[in-house]
Structure 1
Amino acid sequence: MNQERAIGIGRAPQNTRDAARKMLWIGIWLIFLSTPLNALLDGRYSAAGQALGWTGLIVFVGLYLVMVFRNTSRTLAPPVIHTTLAALGVIAIGLNLALGSPWLVLFVYVAVNCGAVLSLRRATWGILGATALMCLLSLRADDPPGLVGPLLVPALLGGFAMTGVRQLIRTTVELKEARATVAQLAANEERLRMARDLHDLLGHSLSLITLKSELAGRMLPDHPGQAAAQVADIEQVSREALTDVREAVTGYRRPTLPGELAGARTALAAAGITADVPADVPEDCRTGDLDEDQEAALAWALREGITNVVRHSAARHCTVTLSSRQTLDGRRLELMVRDDGRNAVAGPHGNGLTGLAERLATAGGTLDTRAGPGFTLTARVPLGSGA
């Protein structure tokens, strides 16, 4: 993930710094243009040759950078791609015919560009075609093998390597889009579930309240006693509905261990902290052995521990373990959050840890903390018969 962030794989630059970093990664390979550059600087060409060489080199490099830089994050239109590739090929051929063999290296960049912007099938033909043209034009030199030999591997390897990089970028973009789609579908499913729950909870109660209210209104002038009974029923139904809604809302707000484990990985990665977090609750301590309050208490402990690591620890590595332990008091599910931070100090608990200890005590669990080296938070709740 850090490497993806560093070179911007699969995303357009977000600011000037990202653009400069990405241009550096792409432009560093222009170092192989030293051969034609030296030819321009050593005075072997006439004034017209100098002008042609500098103009052609600047236009070639500009087109190359635009194609690779823009097309890796946002695909250009096919006519633009084909026209630019044709222009690169024409410049490479023209400079080789006019100025000689030092410009054969341009075909390496043509091959790399083909691999970066074309589909796999077309890129294969483009890479092979650029390499063949390079070999053909090298025959004009006194020592063709000596000139074209060192360029064959960069042309072929660079071109086909770029096809892999392009596929990696496309796969990364598709993966991000798929993750966003999954998240949206999960949110939609959660909204539908909440709507169904609220309908099941309140539909019958509100209908009954409406009917009894109408009935009480009709009874009120002539039968006040019966109307009062209907009002009492309305009050009872309303209280029951309120209790059901409160229980439902509590269930929605109650954190779960799998959800908090996923959140911990995301939070630590966003903070640049190397994380060692289990993917799920171990098989031998599934939540079937926990009641909802105990699981919620452990989930809150994990959230509080990760929050402290991200905000206060200045840690570089954090480890989360979740295991079942047999103690003298019975089986315990133990959650441990340990970091290598430098800001851990021993002392009284803050408000967050104090509230967490009280929440765990309500669920029959315990909270232990230890500072140095780093900071370790350990929360335990009973499992099975010990609950």
Structure 2
Amino acid sequence: MTEPETETNPAMFGVAPRTRKQMLTKCIWIVIWFLYLTGPIGDLAEGDLSPADEALGWAGLLTFIVVYFALLFRHMTHRPLPSGPIRAAVLFIVALAVLLSWEIGPNWLVLFTFASVSVGVTQPFHVSRWAIPALAATLVLIGLRYSHVQVYLFAYALPCLLSGFAMVGVQHMIRTMQELRAAREEVARLAANEERLRLARDLHDLLGHSLSLITLKSELAGRMLPGTPEAAAQQVADIERVSRQALVDVREAVTGYRRPRLAVELAGVRAALRTAAIRADIDPALEQEHRGLTAEGEGALAWALREAVTNVVRHSGADRCEVLLTEEWEADERRYLCLSVIDDGTGPKRGGGHDGNGLIGLRERLALADGRLETGTARGGGFALRAYVPLGAPPLTGTAAHGTDHSPAPHHSPSGG
């Protein structure tokens, strides 16, 4: 993913050109600095040099321009060359700057600025941090040969230093931009993975419950035929209703707008337990409102209720299922709402050391709501699931009621929906 040309990045720093316009922009950013070569070009144009110096000047200046442009253009537009050829090209540019300024005149000292820029652009900082000052010192030493310009050496040396270290800063900025771009791509990838995980979790929770209920009702309708066709027709009508609701739920889950509510899930729980011939003991508190319960907390508890009852219906072999909702104070003085789903079934399998996909997803949902999940063996056998979510403001009067303690042992469920 490349960053397009913007007002904040007109030279496409750190980005390979993709169009002719971008290629031309990079070329202009290199060529525009050749305006500083007016001094050497003026010496050659005046014709005051000896034939040998003039020939050396033209050949050396053209070679300098070609090598300098090729080196920076390659570095800015393509994958950089290996360090060996780059270092050789930089040393060649430096040698030309020394030779031409020594042999022809002080106006050629400006070539050291270009040499300093090439060092700052192509060399790592541990090299450029001493090479750029060394170039400035060499410029001063050569300039001392020309007594009439010694007073102006500062005007040559300062641009040499500043230009080189400015390019060091630009290269650091480019590397930072590339790292930020890579980090942004990684964040986008992780966000997409998280969204896929959320969608998979939602679909599992939605379809696991609905398909289990459809399967049970289908088996029940099959047993009712042909003896009691009216009852079988009622079961078929329930199957149609559940399947339509499942379709709506899946659509809402895909769009990310569905937020389950305890009262809505409670109706489905009663139907699922009744169809499975499991006696349901439902705490009336499930139908009441609770002060301080956030939408995220209620959604997490609704998912917990659905997942727990789905597991009871599909895996427990229970005759009775108890659903409680209590407010509890923890040791940290925080008030929690606890949903307990307890059955008298077979309980956790021995040696079952891992949660299924349903309980794993449920733990993640509760964690997002700052809650937690506890599972294990209930008193008297069977399986117990307890889901906790924090409550906000404390009640106006009294202390929170502590429900009957059905705390399960720290044991994992054999079923995962």
How has the CA–CA distance of structure 1 residues 246 and 124 changed in structure 2, closer, same or farther, with 3 Å as cutoff?
A: closer
Q: Which amino acid in structure 2 is aligned with residue 65 of structure 1?
A: F
Q: Is the Cα–Cα contact under 8 Å of residues 131 and 156 in structure 1 kept in the other structure? A: yes
**Could you say which residue in structure 2 is the equivalent of 1:62?**
66
Whole-angstrom distance in 1 between the partners of 2:84 and 2:208: 59
Which of 186, 189, 193 in structure 2 is aligned with 1:184? 189
Whole-angstrom distance in 2 between the partners of 1:117 and 1:221: 86
**Could you say which residue in structure 2 is the equivalent of 1:26?**
30
Which of 75, 91, 105 in structure 2 is aligned with 1:86? 91
Q: Does 1:170 align with 2:187?
A: no
Whole-angstrom distance in 1 between the partners of 2:72 and 2:27: 9
Equivalenced residues, count: 256
Aligned sequence identity (%): 47
Tell me whether 161-170 or 235-244 shows the greater mean CA deviation.
Answer: 235-244
Which of 26, 43, 49 in structure 2 is aligned with 1:45? 49
Whole-angstrom distance in 2 between the partners of 1:242 and 1:148: 81
Q: Which amino acid in structure 2 is aligned with residue 134 of structure 1?
A: L
**Could you say which residue in structure 2 is the equivalent of 1:244?**
249
Tell me whether 188-197 or 130-139 shows the greater mean CA deviation.
Answer: 130-139
Structure with the greater alpha carbon radius of gyration = 2
Q: Does 1:126 align with 2:105?
A: no
Per the TM alignment, residue 52 of structure 1 is displaced from its structure 2 partner at its CA by 2.6
What 5-or-longer segments of structure 1 have no aligned partner?
A: 255-287, 290-387
- Which digits, 9 at most, give the CA deviation of each residue in 1:52-79, with x for residues without a partner? 3222212212222233344346551322
**Could you say which residue in structure 2 is the equivalent of 1:108?**
113
More RCO (CA 8 Å, sep 6+): 2
How has the CA–CA distance of structure 1 residues 207 and 73 changed in structure 2, closer, same or farther, with 3 Å as cutoff?
A: farther
How has the CA–CA distance of structure 1 residues 157 and 119 changed in structure 2, closer, same or farther, with 3 Å as cutoff?
A: same
Which of 161, 180, 194 in structure 2 is aligned with 1:156? 161
Q: Does 1:11 align with 2:40?
A: no
TM-score by structure 1 length?
0.58
Which of 192, 199, 206 in structure 1 is aligned with 2:204? 199
Per the TM alignment, residue 110 of structure 1 is displaced from its structure 2 partner at its CA by 0.8
Whole-angstrom distance in 1 between the partners of 2:91 and 2:9: 33
Whole-angstrom distance in 2 between the partners of 1:252 and 1:191: 15
Q: Is the Cα–Cα contact under 8 Å of residues 199 and 253 in structure 2 kept in the other structure? A: no
Whole-angstrom distance in 2 between the partners of 1:93 and 1:214: 94
How has the CA–CA distance of structure 1 residues 202 and 142 changed in structure 2, closer, same or farther, with 3 Å as cutoff?
A: same
Indicate the RMSD between aligned Cα atoms, in angstroms: 3.0
Per the TM alignment, residue 144 of structure 1 is displaced from its structure 2 partner at its CA by 5.5
Per the TM alignment, residue 94 of structure 1 is displaced from its structure 2 partner at its CA by 2.5
Q: Which amino acid in structure 2 is aligned with residue 235 of structure 1?
A: E
Write 1 or 2 for the structure with the bigger share of helix. 1
What 5-or-longer segments of structure 2 have no aligned partner?
A: 260-293, 296-417
TM-score by structure 2 length?
0.54
- Which digits, 9 at most, give the CA deviation of each residue in 1:238-281, with x for residues without a partner? 13312322433454599xxxxxxxxxxxxxxxxxxxxxxxxxxx
Q: Does 1:146 align with 2:151?
A: yes
Secondary structure of 1:6's aligned partner: coil
Whole-angstrom distance in 2 between the partners of 1:157 and 1:28: 17
**Could you say which residue in structure 2 is the equivalent of 1:331?**
none
How has the CA–CA distance of structure 1 residues 177 and 74 changed in structure 2, closer, same or farther, with 3 Å as cutoff?
A: farther
